Amino acid sequence: MAQLRFVTLLVAALLCTPPVYAQDDDYARQVAQERRQAETEAPQLAEVLGLRPGVAVADIGTGGGAMAIVLARLVGSGRVYATDITEKSLATAREYAKKEGLTNLTVIEGGTASTNLPSGCCEALFLRNVYHHVTEPDAFNKSLYATAKPGARLAIIDAPPGKASELPAGVPANRGGHGVPVAVVIEELTAAGFVHVRTIQGWPPGDKFPTVFLVLFEKK
């Protein structure tokens, strides 16, 4: 029942919150598209991660910050940490949060081998279309594990490699192209100490043409 109330509040917040647009037209369209996608996906992600008011959640590789903004409205007295490695994304996320009057969202520059977040700060973490770009997965996953509190849930949302696609620069060859196989995600995150909970092959549920999967882990 508590989870149902949380999702109801989430939907209400989404309906009442207009998107914020950056000044560059192309980037503005990208940010607006990310916001629309976040508004659709956030209730389902909140349910999978077990989010509720008062928790701390990390959006690793936040991009323009759309999902972080949506979730920040719902965790209330909790906190959302949004990280990225590009200055443009960090600046957009900060501007976004300021315009929407959010004080419970902290934007932090991430690293290639570390989340750069405080140890044990989060009850939930997620990476959306980010993991296949991680160039130092062993070190990065150890950092993810350190960032998570005991019992925390971690969601990796990503896509399998496209046929004949090129590897992103610097990533391990076991990705097999632009993307990452589910089996590799499970192998690497369990090696870091996480426990595999389940895999949702088509994410988000209900999407007629899903292109990504979600792999859920937990820190015991």
CB 143 within 8 A of CB 181: no
User: Mean pLDDT score of the chain, rounded to an integer?
Assistant: 90
CA atoms within 13 A on the CB side of 35: 22
- pLDDT tens digits along 190-218: 999 999 999 999 999 999 999 999 999 99
- pLDDT tens digits along 5-34: 554 555 444 444 444 444 467 767 877 787
* DSSP of 64-87: TSHHHHHHHHHHTTSEEEEEES-H
Report the CATH number that the domain containing residue 74 is assigned in CATH: 3.40.50.150
Look at the chain and report how many structural domains it folds into. Answer: 1
pTM for the model stands at 0.87
- The residues, ordered by sequence, that sit 6+ positions from 173 with a Cβ below 8 Å of its Cβ are 167
Which pLDDT score, from 0 to 100, does residue 62 have? 96
Which pLDDT score, from 0 to 100, does residue 24 have? 62
- pLDDT tens digits along 52-85: 999 999 999 999 899 999 999 989 999 999 999 9
Please give the Cα distance from 104 to 108 (Å, whole number): 13
The domain of 133 spans: 2-218
Confidence band, pLDDT 50/70/90 cuts, at residue 3:
low
Across residues 94-121, what is the average pLDDT? 96
Of 19 and 116, the one with more pLDDT:
116
Please give the Cα distance from 214 to 38 (Å, whole number): 15
Collapsed DSSP state (helix, strand, coil) of residue 146: helix
